[in-house]
Amino acid sequence: MSSDYPKIQVLAALAAGLASFGFAPILVRFVPETSPFVLVVYRTVFAALMLLPFWLWTRNNDQRAGKSKERMWMALSGACLGLHFTCWIASIYYTSVASASVLVTIHPIIMILVERFWFKKSFATATWIGVVLAFAGSVLLGISDSQIEQSFADPLFGNFLAFSAALIFVIYLLIGQQIRQKRAWIDYVFPVYFYAAVTCILIAVVLGKDLTNISTVGIWAGAGLAFGPQILGHGSMNYAVKYISPTLLSTLILVEPLLASVLAFIIFSEMPPIVSILAMVIILFGVALTWKRSTEKSGKKSRE
């Protein structure tokens, strides 16, 4: 983490973004009759349209070397974001809000594993303990959801979709870390959101979904998902990733399952079983331990 960055702006952006993430599964639950593949199209298209005027007004037209290659990476990043949204929103239709919210936010653990085995970075023993604890909690959560008798279509499949969304998100964030160093926020975010929308439209068309089959409430939910969790939430991360390590940054989203579970209990009276609550605590503790060790390591480096 760099010590030379606009801390107030970054912290303010992250605060607004993190607050918006918890409302994402709640908005999805308001439109159970809408296909997740249709809802994600409206979410991504609305987000791109909302940002289009700002991009046209402030975009950078400099013809510097390597810009065409950056566009290819942004297209891949957008495709990953579209797949991430599709898997995540679909998971809400099959499993509980609490389970989907926790599993989709275990990407810090995946990120650390990628850094260790792909980028050959070393980590302290406590970090690996956190990884094992988080993985054990994920397994316990899956077992718990598969055994409870509630009105969820297919909890195990929903958990798989949420986990896949987390895995894809890691790729998306790693690409963003590299490209954001060279591009302004709007010059990165709008193209990525555009490609995400294209990806979601293609998926819906291939699956034969009728994009006009959505209620007025569904359209409003799509607009809410676009402005809140996508522009404020993911947008704040894309802003901060230029200044903060993606591994540390990704762990901040872990406030989502807590807020989402509280909101789901208040609005839907959806109380997770004791075993699921225990699993969530284990996951959060494991990731918190990993984040603590990573922060300490970063602090030591900055003092050297």
Per-residue pLDDT of 64-77, as tens digits, reads 555 778 889 999 99
Average pLDDT over all residues of the chain: 81
Confidence of residue 216 (pLDDT cuts 50, 70, 90): very high
pLDDT at 54 over 70: yes
Confidence of residue 286 (pLDDT cuts 50, 70, 90): confident
**Greater pLDDT, 151 or 84:** 84
Highest-pLDDT range among 42-46, 101-105, 166-170: 42-46
pLDDT at 252 over 60: yes
Token pair for 207: 């699956």
CB 159 within 8 A of CB 301: no
> 2 lies in a domain?
no
Q: Cα separation of 248 and 76, whole Å?
A: 23
H helices within 155-215, ranges in order? 155-179, 185-206
Least confident of 12-26, 107-121, 152-166, 251-265: 251-265
pLDDT at 303 over 50: no
Q: Which residue type is seen at 229?
A: P
**Total domains in the fold of the chain:** 1
> Which stretch of DSSP H or E encloses residue 44?
helix 36-58
Residue with tokens 């789901």: 264
Domain that holds residue 136: 7-303
State pLDDT tens for residues 99-149: 777 788 778 778 878 877 887 777 777 777 877 887 787 777 666 655 555
157 SS3 class: helix
Confidence of residue 297 (pLDDT cuts 50, 70, 90): low
pLDDT at 301 over 60: no
> 1 lies in a domain?
no
- Calculate ∠ Cα 38-96-248, nearest 5°: 85
